[in-house]
Amino acid sequence: MTDTQQTPAGDPDDAVIRVRDLVNAFGANVVHNGLDLDVRRGEILGVVGGSGSGKSVLLRSIVGLQKIRSGVIELFGEPLGEMLDDSDNLCDLRLGVMFQDGALFSSLTVTENIQLAIKEHYKVGDALLQDLADMKMLLAELPLKAANQYPSELSGGMRKRAGLARALALDPEILFLDEPTAGLDPISAAAIDRLLQTLRDALGLTVFLVTHDLDTLHAICDRVAVLGEGRLITIGTLDEVANFDHPWIKAYFSGPRGRRGQVDRGDTSDTGL
């Protein structure tokens, strides 16, 4: 990809995720055809694209849930394929994933959901385990009242936060989020955005964010990657991407919802939209 633009967000030379020439296909349906992408350490990267453009498939490929047809995915400079061969390595991958509706284990309480992986991989005393779970919940701004509740008893926003708390359980360095604000009211969505930014700033996380939410892109993303036609159409800051000449991008940013996003941001600069 030649149009990767250099921006101040994150260190361009320090890519924690490096995807080269990725090909993914389901039968005859080619989802990715030679996709290249770099995610820099410490940035919040928003990944957008039309339905079926393979955003979620890309996320699943990077975290190793999707067997790729060909190409190279490197995490922290090491090829993913070799790391996945040894299951001991999996918790060393330092990845946290928050699935779209939380994917919380429905038979476990919120606390147990968070503790599950810690208990599985490390020997930790009960008191510390409880403190750790409380701490993750408070980091995700989840009231401790919810600690002993089951996922089905939580509201949509609380489930997302619980999913986030569980994603943070093993102290990941890269956080993957699949539509973290989908299905939330604008106030809750803004609260999640702010929370993600706080967590990134405090914990130095790298965040890979699949979203449709223009407000999220405006509010927290350092860079935006646009997927389409099986490859990366463009990547850069929001302004750079919004000015890129491509029919889908034009439609996405200049549609009625796109304009509203610009107004909300109080953006006075003329972006030519």
Beta carbons within 8 Å of 203's beta carbon, 6+ residues apart: none
Nearer to other proteins, 101 or 229 (CB): 101
Q: Are 44 and 222 in contact (CB under 8 A)?
A: yes
Least separation in angstroms between residue 214's CB and other proteins is 27
Q: How many Å apart are CA 83 and CA 131, to the nearest integer? A: 31
User: In angstroms, what is the minimal distance from the CB of 1 to other proteins?
Assistant: 31
- Is the distance from CB of 162 to CB of 180 less than 8 angstroms? no
Kind of pairing, strands 15-26 and 29-40? antiparallel
Q: Judged by CB, which is closer to other proteins: 140, or 221?
A: 140
Contact residues: other proteins, CB under 8 A = 106-107, 118, 122-125, 128, 131-132, 134-139, 141, 143-145, 147-148, 150-153, 168, 170-171, 198-199, 201-204
Q: How far apart are CA 154 and CA 144, in angstroms?
A: 12
Tally of CB atoms within 10 A around 141: 15
Taking the complex as a whole, the smallest distance from the CB of residue 116 to other proteins amounts, in Å, to 14
Residues 6 or more apart in contact with residue 81 via CB below 8 angstroms: 73
Question: Closest CB to other proteins among 72 and 139?
Answer: 139
Cβ 13 to other proteins shortest distance, Å: 19
Q: Could you tell me the two tokens for 159?
A: 């489930």
Q: How far is the CB of 160 from other proteins (least distance, A)?
A: 16
